[in-house]
Amino acid sequence: MDNSVSSQDSLVSVRNLSFSRGDKIIFDDISLDFERGKISAIMGPSGTGKTTLLKLIGGQLFPDKGSITVDGQNVHKLRRTELYNLRKRLGMLFQSGALLTDMSVYDNVAFPLREHTHLPESMIRTLVLMKLQAVGLRGARNLMPNELSGGMARRIALARAIALDPMMILYDEPFTGQDPISMGVLVHLIKSLNNILGLTSIIVSHDVHDTSAIADYIYVLSGGKIVGQGTPKEIQQSDSEWVQQFMTGAADGPVHFHYPAKDYVDDLMSVGKRY
Amino acid sequence: MIRILQYLGKSTRTSFTKLGRATYFLLQTVSGIPSVLLRPRLLLNQLYSVGVLSFLIITISGLFVGMVLGLQGYYTLSDFGAEETLGVMVAASLVRELGPVVSALLFAGRAGSALTAEIGLMKATEQLSGMEMMAVDPIKRIITPRFLAGLLAMPLLAALFSAVGIIGGQIIGSGLLGVDEGAYWSQMQASIDFHDDILNGVIKSIVFGFVTSWIALFEGSDAIPTSEGVSRATTRTVVNSAFSILGLDFILTALMFGE
Amino acid sequence: MQHTSTQDTLVGLFVAAGIVGLFFLSMQVSNLSSFGDEESYTIIARFENSGGLKVKSPVSAAGVKIGKVSSISFDPKTYQSVVHMSIYTQYNTIPTDTSASIYTAGLLGEQYVNLDPGGSEEYLQQDSAIEITQSAIILEKAIGQFLFKSAAEKK
């Protein structure tokens, strides 16, 4: 099923990617495509290396095997300056927001503009206020990052990620640890930014409901392999037991409740051994 | 026995790889210097947090160290009827040794640990990674300005320490104990050599500033990105800086003042 | 950052204070102020033995420092120590029959050259030599001689 998706209009294509940390295999020969202008989601249980995949796409990590192409450029064959030029066209929303703690909200959003453009300060002000308005936090511009709630910090980080009008945004667990209202706000924002700015979005998440509400296409990863892919509807109707367990959140199924161990009764009876 | 050898082998290997990472880190940091010089604002901000914020602790400590030297020196020298050379004793010990060494130790405790904690936390909260994804090189933007600031601030702080200490010695020596003020200064001027004493002291403090900033920044960026990892890295900064300062001081002293 | 200007001021103050500290150390504490900038001329004296005299040792007359030793070398022909001294130009009326001796400041102090002016009307010029010299007193030698003498007297 690996190469079943057509790659003609994909902005990011991952081919035969393998990656391991020490002895642990994170990805085992997987191929994915992310279509231009769509919201794609990568789902899977914690610890399956979803964030690692984003870091590979952003060129912060190097794969053991395989290639990742973003907008026709092989990320890991680029020279440093070329990679940096590519990154200017990518936005990434970190799980923690990753706001610079020694700067105000305003300066945080202005940061990429000041670093990469030579725009006059008045123009930067206009741009920053526009981006803050888009996330609904224009009034919070003088706050410091430690004065923000988690949801606000993520929205500021989103404003910063779109500051340079990127072609694509990578979202790392955008819904984790949010109350229902900020969750709703973020879902709405991701959807509307994607439609209004014509972005391509890649969301990494294990939140089934909200992600399937906005995603156009979903990949489900587990144990370094793709175990399911398709539109949200297709995924929900998947006949894979594993995908079903993940989507419904059943406690036992192909993923066992118990960590691998020897027989329970034997274990209890083997008195005298400490482990 | 085999276990001890294994342990020895393993720790040798890990310390070599760490040294390798530290050297690579230093090279990257140094290669960022030209781009920082083009943006002096970054350097200025760091000079504030590295230099200005260490100013008070350095001057106050310097004053007290000088005053103690004045007292102790007076008691010892007066046994030989040589109180007049108190100025020489105070100035020589401050300019050659105590100024560079003590101010570097204080600097490691005040500014070095703060640098490690700051960089470590930036790493733990993904700020460095985030910056990289915004196509901003964290080495050039964060590390190199702090490194340069440490390198510049250290000799200034050491000079302040010595100067304040010599004045402190004079306050005690001639103010309290009655050493002739003229003798205090003139004996000092006759014995302290600009090249051999002052310049060598400045060179020492530059070396200490270099090493301390390097250690502090490297430990911060090499820290395990958890709160425990950062606190351990901060401890390592202070301990490793202190060892390096004292060890290097011995080597530099042997090279500079040996005949 | 609203506090930029106060920060700048403080950084400026810090750097200024540091430079003042360095300047203080160079000028007030060390001997930087007492060499290099003063004009001087060189005179030469030959000693049988210059003892522990060193380059930069002071040269004084009547207890006042008037110059310093600029070089010391050994003359392989006369087997003498040749001492060049830089005398500050303001002291340009040192008579030609002046004698030079090497003394020790205190029992354990450093050695210095003392010039004892004579009565001549002619003055020492650049590169002129002092004829009358008295060598350094070598403490071991003096003690040895004293012991030898007193032993001889007792006999």
**pLDDT single digits (tens) B9-28:** 888 888 899 999 999 999 99
Residues C68 and C16 in one domain: no
| CB atoms B135 and A87 under 8 Å | yes
Number of domain units in chain C: 2
Percent of chain A predicted with pLDDT > 70: 95
**Position A203 in a domain:** yes
Q: What is the mean pLDDT of residues C2-29?
A: 83
Angstrom distance (rounded) from CA A88 to CA A83: 9
Residues C22 and C61 in one domain: no
pLDDT digits (tens, 9 = 90+) for B136-184: 889 998 999 999 999 999 999 999 999 999 999 999 998 888 888 888 8
Of B117, B119, B100, nearest in space to B58 by CA: B100
Cβ-based neighbour number of residue C109 at 10 Å? 9
Q: Strand, coil or helix: what is A207?
A: coil
Closest residue in A to B137 (Cα) is A84
Binned at pLDDT 50, 70 and 90, residue B238 comes out as: very high
Residues C10 and C53 in one domain: no
| CB atoms A92 and B130 under 8 Å | yes
Residue A62: both structure tokens together: 């190097």
Of B142, B149, B147, B108, nearest in space to B125 by CA: B142
Residue among B130, B135, B141 minimizing CB distance to A98: B130
Q: What is the mean pLDDT of residues A167-193?
A: 85
Residue C41: both structure tokens together: 């001329």
Residue B137: both structure tokens together: 């090189």
pLDDT for B259 equals 53
Residues C67 and C107 in one domain: yes
pTM: 0.79
Dihedral pair phi/psi, residue C58, rounded to 5° = -75, 150
Q: B2-25 burial string, b = 16+ CB within 10 Å, else e? A: eeeeeeeeeeeeeeeeeeeebeeb
Q: Which residues contact C43 (CB under 8 A, 6 or more apart)?
A: C84, C85, C87, C94, C124, C126, C127, C128, C129, C130
pLDDT for C107 equals 62
Question: What radius of gyration, in Å, describes the C-alpha atoms of chain B?
Answer: 21
Is residue C44's pLDDT more than 70? yes
| CB atoms B125 and A90 under 8 Å | no
Dihedral pair phi/psi, residue A237, rounded to 5° = -95, 10
| CB atoms A115 and B141 under 8 Å | yes
Please state, rounded to an integer, the average pLDDT across all residues of chain C. Answer: 81
- Yes or no: say if B81 and C107 are a contact pair by the CB < 8 Å rule: no
pLDDT for A5 equals 43
Angstrom distance (rounded) from CA B110 to CA A269: 58
- Yes or no: say if B248 and B108 are a contact pair by the CB < 8 Å rule: no
**Structural domain of residue C52, as residue ranges?**
38-144
| B136 interaction partners in chain A (CB closer than 8 Å) | 111-112, 115-116
**Position A272 in a domain:** no
**Structural domain of residue A164, as residue ranges?**
10-248
| CB atoms C7 and B160 under 8 Å | no
Is residue B79's pLDDT more than 50? yes
Checking DSSP bridges between strand A10-21 and strand A65-70, what pairing results, if any? antiparallel
| CB atoms A115 and B126 under 8 Å | no
Candidates B77, B194, B200: best to mutate against C (most CBs of C within 10 A) is: B194
Cβ-based neighbour number of residue B247 at 10 Å? 11
Residue where the block lists tokens 């959003």:
A109
pLDDT for A3 equals 42
- Yes or no: say if A163 and A127 are a contact pair by the CB < 8 Å rule: yes
Q: How far is C105 from chain B (nearest CA, A)?
A: 13
Residue where the block lists tokens 């003229």:
B182
Please, which contacts does A261-270 make with residues 24 or more away whose CB atoms are closer than 8 Å?
Answer: none
Binned at pLDDT 50, 70 and 90, residue C1 comes out as: very low
**Position B37 in a domain:** no
**Position C153 in a domain:** no
Binned at pLDDT 50, 70 and 90, residue B30 comes out as: very high
pLDDT for A165 equals 87
Query: Is C7 at the interface with chain B, CB within 8 A?
Result: yes
pLDDT for A27 equals 87
| B183 interaction partners in chain C (CB closer than 8 Å) | none
Angstrom distance (rounded) from CA A126 to CA A128: 6
By a Cβ cutoff of 8 Å, what residues of chain B touch chain A?
A: 121-122, 125-127, 129-137, 141
pLDDT for C3 equals 60
Who has greater pLDDT, B137 or A271? B137
Percent of chain B predicted with pLDDT > 70: 99
Chains with at least 3 CB pairs less than 8 angstroms from chain B: A, C
Is residue C50's pLDDT more than 90? no
- Yes or no: say if C143 and C60 are a contact pair by the CB < 8 Å rule: no
| CB atoms A85 and B135 under 8 Å | yes
Binned at pLDDT 50, 70 and 90, residue C38 comes out as: low
pLDDT for B64 equals 95
Is residue B68's pLDDT more than 80? yes
**Position B138 in a domain:** yes
| A85 interaction partners in chain B (CB closer than 8 Å) | 135
Number of domain units in chain B: 1
Is residue B242's pLDDT more than 90? yes
Checking DSSP bridges between strand C111-116 and strand C64-75, what pairing results, if any? unpaired
Please state, rounded to an integer, the average pLDDT across all residues of chain B. Answer: 90
Q: What is the mean pLDDT of residues C105-111?
A: 68
**Position C155 in a domain:** no
pLDDT for A2 equals 40
Is residue A142's pLDDT more than 80? yes
pLDDT digits (tens, 9 = 90+) for A20-60: 888 888 888 888 888 888 899 998 877 778 888 888 888 88
Q: ipTM > 0.85?
A: no
Q: Which of A5-14, A119-128, A197-206, C99-108 has the lowest mean pLDDT?
A: A5-14
pLDDT digits (tens, 9 = 90+) for A112-139: 998 888 889 999 999 999 989 888 888 8
Binned at pLDDT 50, 70 and 90, residue B208 comes out as: very high
Q: What is the domain-level CATH number for residue A213?
A: 3.40.50.300
Residues C66 and C23 in one domain: no
**Position A261 in a domain:** no
Checking DSSP bridges between strand C132-134 and strand A10-21, what pairing results, if any? unpaired
Cβ-based neighbour number of residue B42 at 10 Å? 20
pLDDT for C109 equals 66
Q: Which of B138-147, B190-199, C39-48 has the highest mean pLDDT?
A: B138-147
- Yes or no: say if C45 and C85 are a contact pair by the CB < 8 Å rule: yes
Number of domain units in chain A: 1
Q: What is the mean pLDDT of residues A161-173?
A: 88
Candidates A53, A60, A83, A94: best to mutate against B (most CBs of B within 10 A) is: A94
**Position A275 in a domain:** no
Q: Which residues contact A72 (CB under 8 A, 6 or more apart)?
A: none
| CB atoms B125 and A116 under 8 Å | no
Name the DSSP letter for residue C78.
T
C 87-126 residues inside an 8 A Cβ radius of B: none
pLDDT for C2 equals 46
| CB atoms C24 and B157 under 8 Å | no
B vs C, Cβ pairs < 8 A, gives 84
Q: How far is B32 from chain C (nearest CA, A)?
A: 22
Residues C26 and C52 in one domain: no
pLDDT for B109 equals 93
Residues β-bridged to residue A42: A204, A219
pLDDT for C52 equals 77
**Position C152 in a domain:** no
**Structural domain of residue B213, as residue ranges?**
70-253
